[in-house]
Amino acid sequence: MPVAVVGLGAAVVVSLDDPVAGALFALAAVAVLIAAFLLGRDRPVRVATGEVTLAGGVLRGPRFPMRAPNPALAGWAVLAVVLVGCGVLCVVLALTRRAPAFLIGAVVCAVAGGMLAGAALTGLRRDRTEPPSVLLAGAGVVFEAGAGTRLIPWDEITAVEAVTAFGRNAIVIRCGRRRQSVRTARLACDPATVYHAVRFYWCSSHARSVLGTGVALERIRGGRLEVVA
């Protein structure tokens, strides 16, 4: 956000002397605002009952969906390339016109292009790296993905953790040396609800029999997920 403010301010000042430079600054600042929106957007979704067919059987239970990739991200990737080109143009103008102000435009364009490229690439590869939804069934936790569906039986889970690594929060389900993680930023519903729901049903085997019914949804939506030692 500070980069966008600097870019808009530079656009107003520089455009008084050079409209081309002002337009480049304004474009870069708007791109930063778009990238900030893409990276920080929040679309809460209500938890609902879902089902998945696995190994000839149907597993039913509360489903926690992930955020769907935005088709417009491909356009943002193209805009990122354009911004990089604008940055190169600013450098050329700074050298040919001997105007150091263009170097500010080059920096703003480079930062905006990098942010947009990062947001676009992250969105375009989400389905390949993370499951589109997590489902809690009586048999275990089901991770649905385009490349395949994975079931982790409850009795194989050794830990359910909320971890932070490199500034990113994630819910990690461990099965001995193996693990399955889901970044909280990818969840379309409240990450705390997902964590407490998985942990509650892992620790409370007596409550798993109603996972495919409305009783489980009422418990999750009501926040009655305390683990009794």
- Please spell the DSSP secondary structure of 165-220, one letter per residue: ETTEEEEEEEETTEEEEEEGGGBSS-HHHHHHHHHHHHH-GGGGGGTTSHHHHHHH
In this model, does residue 129 exceed pLDDT 60?
no
pLDDT band at residue 74, thresholds of 50, 70 and 90?
A: low
* Position with higher pLDDT, 72 vs 78: 78
Contact 141, 198 (CB under 8 A): yes
Q: What gap in Å lies between CA 156 and CA 111, rounded to an integer? A: 45
Reduced to 3 states (helix: H, G, I; strand: E, B; else coil), residue 56 is coil
- Can you point out the beta strands (E) in 67-177? 133-137, 140-145, 148-153, 159-165, 168-175
Q: What gap in Å lies between CA 32 and CA 38, rounded to an integer? A: 10
Percent of the chain with pLDDT over 90: 22
Measured between its terminal Cα atoms, the distance across the chain in Å is 46
Output the six-digit token pair for 218.
Answer: 């009422």
| Number of Cβ within a 10 Å radius of residue 137 | 25
pLDDT band at residue 153, thresholds of 50, 70 and 90?
A: very high
* Position with higher pLDDT, 203 vs 94: 203
Q: What gap in Å lies between CA 217 and CA 130, rounded to an integer? A: 24
Least confident of 16-25, 54-63, 122-131, 146-155: 122-131
Q: Are strands 140-145 and 148-153 parallel, antiparallel or unpaired?
A: antiparallel
Closest C-alpha to 6, from 36, 23, 29 = 29
pLDDT at 3 (0 to 100): 45
In this model, does residue 11 exceed pLDDT 50?
no
Q: What angle do CA 11, 24, 118 make, to 5 degrees?
A: 110
Q: What gap in Å lies between CA 193 and CA 126, rounded to an integer? A: 22
pLDDT at 88 (0 to 100): 80
- The pTM for the full model equals 0.58
pLDDT at 216 (0 to 100): 92
pLDDT at 157 (0 to 100): 95
Least confident of 6-15, 27-36, 70-79, 179-188: 6-15
CB-based contacts of 12, cutoff 8 Å, min separation 6: 22
Average pLDDT for the chain:
76
Q: What is the pLDDT of residues 160-205, one digit of tens each?
A: 999 998 778 999 999 988 888 888 887 888 899 999 999 999 999 9
